[in-house]
Amino acid sequence: MYQNIKPIDKRANLKYTAHAGFHFAAAETFCPVFIQELPEIIREYFVFFPNNQTDMPHALLSFQKNRNMYVTGGGVWQADYIPAYIRRYPFILAKADEAGKQPGDMAVAADMEAPHFNRREGESLFTGEGNPTDLFINKIEFLKALERQRVITQKAVKEIETAGLFTMQEITVKQKDSTVAAIGGARMVDSKMLGDSGLQAGPALQLVYAHLFSRASLRFGILSGRKKYIPDDADIKAEAPVPD
């Protein structure tokens, strides 16, 4: 999704426009999710744990490579709730080696290829005196909040792993008696071992139950083929900007 991440330079005089279209995420197969948004996520997405190095739970967006089933051809996001990872685009907190800062520092960066940026139209990110505008301050605070949630979420995943609850399984979606799609290499929670896991009330247990409850989205949600809304491209023009 991110193509050209660079630190925000106030001298560049970038202007930002909140695009309603989600073409930038049309090729995403899954995306990270955070503890704080789980109540909204599990209503419309299946939460699983990919076998990778991120140590983050992910919302499954498609069974097809480079095809986000939640984004229509017209760029409309079909679910009511849009994951925070998608909403933060094109901004991101970059590590020092990505942003040119001192070791341990984090800096606000962005995808300079994003359609949100322009030098002629939109809202400025900095005032004439070089200070962040209210718009940019809100974006920064949103990124900081997600970073705090990332730390809590990764710790919860580590606790689940330490408790030995993960098993490798294949995710399948069926309609009637036919398998519609399947994806392998997914870590899932073994609910039979939950009682003896020793997990106490807290983020890790919340994440376990969110994962288990979200399975219903495979039967009734977008991934099951029950599309919620298929608009014409013209509908994009009337779509409201996505709030942070």
Give the pLDDT confidence of 174-216 residue by residue, as tens digits.
655 655 667 777 888 888 877 777 778 789 999 999 999 998 8
Answer whether residue 51 shows pLDDT above 90: no
Give ∠ CA 41-46-51 in degrees, rounded to 5: 115
Rounded-to-integer distance, Cα 42 and Cα 227, Å: 17
pLDDT band at 99 (very low <50, low <70, confident <90, very high): very low
142 vs 132: CA distance, rounded Å: 14
Determine if the peptide bond prior to 203 is cis (ω within 30°).
no
Average pLDDT over residues 220-225: 78
Terminal-residue alpha carbon distance, the chain: 18
Q: To the nearest 10°, report the CA torsion of 191, 160, 222, 147.
A: 160
Averaged pLDDT score across all residues of the chain: 82
Determine contact, residues 117/14, Cβ cutoff 8 Å.
Answer: yes
pLDDT digits (tens, 9 = 90+) for 112-167: 999 898 777 889 999 988 899 999 999 999 999 999 999 999 999 999 988 888 88
- What is the Cα–Cα distance from 44 to 41, expressed in whole angstroms? 6
pLDDT number for residue 30: 92
More confident residue, 51 or 76: 76
Q: Is 90 exceeded by the pLDDT of residue 222?
A: no
Answer whether residue 102 shows pLDDT above 60: no
**pLDDT surpassing 90 at residue 87:** yes
Integer Cα distance of 138 and 143 in angstroms? 9
